[in-house]
């Protein structure tokens, strides 16, 4: 269920908690809309027990989950990653109700700036390392666990590939995707059954999902897709060309040397055994993750272009129209050729 946030409803739910009785409706500060899935509201320009707080209000529940299940899972994502000290801590929860059909989470507000590239790319590597080196619990549920990530990635790519025609008309671009999908299917046929040891992973790790604090730490803030899987996917999604150019608030360019430095920084920050185990998979997972991202873009475009195109001139309308334009850019043949220059052509990327 998708909802538009009414601050009066949020305030009424907050008033059920004794902690926030001193908070007036006019104190709530709704932040500009940036992401696709949440509204964000500051609990005033003040601290609560020494910490400014932020409410994350889901616009819809997760697929195949009730609002209660989706909110509980998201809360657990925050709890699992908190020991890394590179993600916000969860401070409270507003259960789904008639006023807030999808509920909300209260978390630490992170003060800082969007990532500036390539300057902050090593800090993003440190953040990922801090999460990936957390101990893996014996009981991973309720978070998802991907035992055979190659097989899972290729299955997802193939499921999303049916939407390619909705976004991509250019025959050359379609031919590139067909070549890459064939490689992916062949790679999965050879390696797909390989069970790779999982770590906690963040999944949606593009640079727009970090806030860089004054001390230089990059805090990852978009937690709801956290699960147990292969960390090479997080590394790829944080540094691929289609990722570093995704968020309009992230500025700067990333060179081939910057990507190599990013991986080197990460490998020195994780246990040597993890670094060694990942080396054979780093470049293949960049290739697979790019296909995942591109086919996801085709699916999102197919499912949303009609509604977004007829939207109005509000803040969310402008944000969503910007998403469509960025997806069109990802789908261009020249973008695809630039990305796959990492593994095809005279100067392939070397990460081992």
- Does the structure show a pLDDT above 90 at 310? no
The token pair that represents 123 in the structure block = 């800090």
Predicted pLDDT at 11: 97
b/e for 67-96, b at 16 or more Cβ within 10 A? beebbebbbbbbebbbebebbbebbbbbeb
Average pLDDT over residues 220-240: 97
Is the four-CA dihedral 342, 343, 347, 350 of positive or negative sign?
Answer: positive
pLDDT, residue 216, reads: 95
The string of pLDDT tens digits covering residues 125-160 is 999 999 999 999 999 999 999 999 999 999 999 999
pLDDT digits (tens, 9 = 90+) for 254-274: 999 999 999 999 999 999 999
Q: How high does pLDDT run on average in the chain? A: 95
Sequence ranges of the domains in the chain = 7-108, 116-340
Fold of 116-340: Aminoglycoside 3'-phosphotransferase; Chain: A, domain 2 (3.90.1200)
Any idea what DSSP says for residue 107?
E
**Residue bearing the bigger pLDDT, 34 or 115:** 115
Q: What is the pLDDT of residue 312?
A: 80
Per DSSP, 65 falls in state S
Kindly report whether the global pTM for this prediction surpasses the value 0.75. yes
Q: How, if at all, do strands 251-252 and 116-117 pair?
A: parallel
- Range scoring the smallest mean pLDDT among 141-145, 243-247, 316-320: 316-320
Average pLDDT over residues 1-21: 87
pLDDT of residue 3: 55
Q: What percent of the chain has pLDDT over 70?
A: 99
In CATH, what number does 7-108 get?
3.30.200
Helices 149-161 and 282-309: crossing angle, nearest 10°? 30
- Residue 1 confidence class, pLDDT cut points 50, 70, 90: very low
Rounded CA separation 84/17 (Å): 28
pLDDT of 30 over the 60 cut: yes
């Amino acid at each position: 269920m998708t909802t538009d946030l009414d601050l009066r409803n949020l305030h009424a739910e907050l008033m059920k908690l004794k902690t926030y009785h001193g908070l007036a409706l006019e104190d709530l500060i709704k932040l500009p809309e940036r992401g696709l899935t949440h509204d964000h509201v500051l609990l005033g320009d003040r601290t609560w027990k020494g910490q400014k707080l932020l409410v994350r209000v889901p616009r819809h529940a997760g697929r195949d989950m009730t609002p209660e299940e989706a909110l509980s899972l998201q809360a657990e994502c925050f709890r699992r990653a908190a020991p890394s000290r590179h993600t916000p801590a969860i401070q409270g929860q507003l259960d789904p109700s008639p006023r807030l059909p999808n509920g909300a989470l209260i978390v630490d507000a992170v003060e800082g700036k969007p990532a500036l590239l390539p300057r902050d790319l090593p800090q993003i590597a440190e953040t990922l390392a801090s999460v990936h080196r957390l101990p893996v619990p014996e009981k991973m549920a309720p978070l998802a666990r991907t035992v055979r990530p190659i097989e899972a990635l290729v299955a997802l790519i193939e499921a999303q590939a049916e939407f390619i025609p909705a976004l991509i008309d250019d025959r050359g671009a379609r031919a590139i995707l067909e070549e890459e999908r064939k490689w992916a299917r062949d790679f999965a046929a050879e390696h797909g059954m390989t069970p790779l040891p999982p770590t906690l992973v963040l999944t949606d790790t593009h640079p727009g999902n970090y806030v860089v604090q004054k001390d230089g730490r990059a805090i990852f803030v978009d937690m709801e897709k956290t699960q147990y899987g292969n960390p090479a996917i997080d590394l790829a999604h944080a540094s691929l060309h289609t990722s570093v150019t995704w968020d309009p608030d992230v500025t700067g360019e990333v060179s081939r040397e910057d990507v190599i430095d990013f991986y080197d920084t990460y490998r020195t920050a994780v246990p040597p055994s993890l670094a060694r185990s990942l080396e054979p998979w780093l470049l293949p997972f960049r290739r697979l993750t790019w296909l995942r991202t591109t086919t996801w873009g085709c699916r999102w475009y197919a499912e949303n272009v009609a509604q977004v195109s007829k939207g109005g001139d509000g803040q969310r309308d402008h944000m969503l129209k910007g998403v469509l334009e960025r997806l069109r850019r990802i789908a261009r043949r020249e973008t695809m050729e630039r990305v796959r220059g990492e593994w095809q052509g005279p100067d392939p990327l070397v990460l081992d």
